[in-house]
Amino acid sequence: MSKPLPALLFALTCALAAPVHAAERTVVHAGHLLDVDSGRMLVDQAVSIEAGKVVAVQPWSADAAKGARVLDWTAWTVVPGLMDMHTHISEEAETADIAAPLKISPAQQAFIGAMNARKTLQAGFTTVRDVGVYRGFADIALRDAINAGEIPGPRMFVAGAYITAPGGGGEITGLPAGTVVPREFRQGVSKGVDDVRRHVDRILDHGADLIKVIATGAVLANGTEPGKPEYTEAEIRAAVVEAAKRGKFVAAHAHGAEGIKRAIRAGVRSIEHGSLIDDEGIALLKQHGTWLVADIYDGDYIEEVGTRDHWSPEILRKNEDTTLAQREGFRKAVKAGVHLAFGTDAGVYPHGQNARQFAYMVRWGMTPLQAIRSATIDAARLLGKEKELGSIAPGKAADLVAVGCDPLHDVDCLRQIRGVIKAGQPVALE
């Protein structure tokens, strides 16, 4: 349980603090601190922060805090800033209205993205990988606004637009005949190797950090089937090769077993969803060192809310076909020692509820430490940013989250956020 005094002190700090001058040192006095690199829970620690980075982690003492601004987090357990590798922050949660993305103006979408970014950060997620948006490049604008300090939000790595086949899983489908979808919603629609290359280049020219390829049909796109491949291996490889020329990687949306295997063989960095993966696919993940990012929470959300709100029978059927299979595949992947990173598909469900997935990951084969590592140091490795992010260690970004209990005993307590610091700056919590 949290204590009133530390909570009050932290609230006052957040309310009163202007941006910290680069020369000012802050020390977080942590009652407990999880070292995700070693797996050890450290007691009574002092985390020294300067210029947005951790400069020292050591046992608490008066000398450690001398001359510094002190944040009293002695009542709580401190973990590294959490990282969600599969989000859609620029968009609202899924609804029964398949045309909803077309009804939102660019200005409205900017406000929605800003609201979702704030909720995500306040939920303890200081870094996200945002893997696509229907209105192309809206995620890039949101990332840039956060980086410029114009709005609060997590550190974002963004895909810009979907590389998707015409009428495929990255399109707005199921619309009445004759509906014209504006070009801004079809920035990455590609058919054939040369077209894929051209659109990859265009998306990267606009500032994307990665490429998202829709390798199979989707659960939430009417008229597409999750198990059906939508790109050839050659088309996916073209995206991988073109992205690699710019130092970027490809994440592949892939539900079906064959689409998963095509994407792995083509050289993608990560498989997103992986719902219908088979044993051969798991072996290929292991062989190639490909990451699996499995959103094993939101099948329950789709079933509950989709049934209540009368989502299309097709979507509910596809969700039923994939939910249990995805969780069983996840369990096998854990057992096989596959690279696994935390990703929720936030935007299917309301933003800010990302931590609900931790309990599911433990239920389906992970230890609490493994689940936490998937959202910290392992997520950083997926991004290729493990020297900068993912743990509370000297030289890394000062991203810290305080929770109200011990997550190694009850991983669901990662939903009990008591404090957040991103790049050395306290985040105001509602």
Task: Compute the C-alpha angle 52/400/51, nearest 5°.
Answer: 10
Cα(251)–Cα(208) distance, integer angstroms = 12
Q: Do 160 and 37 lie in a common domain?
A: no
CATH number for the domain that contains residue 296: 3.20.20.140
Domain housing 55: 4-80+390-426
Whether residue 361 sits in one domain with residue 212: yes
Co-location of 357 and 420 in the same domain: no
Residues 372 and 401 in one domain: no
* CATH classification of the domain holding 414: 2.30.40.10
Number of compact structural domains in the chain: 2
Statement to judge: residues 71 and 130 lie in one domain = no
DSSP secondary structure string for all residues of 143-195: HHHHHTTSS---EEEE--SEEB-TTSTTS--SPPTTPPPPGGG-TTB--SHHH
Residues 141 and 271 in one domain: yes
State whether 177 and 71 are in the same domain.
no
Q: Do 260 and 402 fall into the same domain? A: no
190 lies in the same domain as 333 = yes
Same domain, 151 and 243: yes
- Residue among 288, 375, 280, 270 nearest 329 (CA): 280
409 vs 415: CA distance, rounded Å:
14
Residue given tokens 């990455």 in the structure block: 188
Give the pLDDT of the chain (430 residues) as one tens digit per residue: 343 334 433 443 344 334 444 458 999 999 999 999 999 999 999 999 999 999 999 999 999 999 999 999 999 999 999 999 999 999 988 888 989 999 999 999 999 999 999 999 999 999 999 999 999 999 999 999 999 999 999 999 999 999 999 999 999 999 998 899 999 999 999 999 999 999 999 999 999 999 999 999 999 999 999 999 999 999 999 999 999 999 999 999 999 999 999 999 999 999 999 999 999 999 999 999 999 999 999 999 999 999 999 999 999 999 999 999 999 999 999 999 999 999 999 999 999 999 999 999 999 999 999 999 999 999 999 999 999 999 999 999 999 999 999 999 999 999 999 999 999 999 999 7
Distance separating the N- and C-terminal Cα atoms of the chain: 18
Q: Could you tell me if 180 and 247 lie in one domain?
A: yes
Within this chain, do residues 331 and 184 fall inside the same structural domain, yes or no?
A: yes
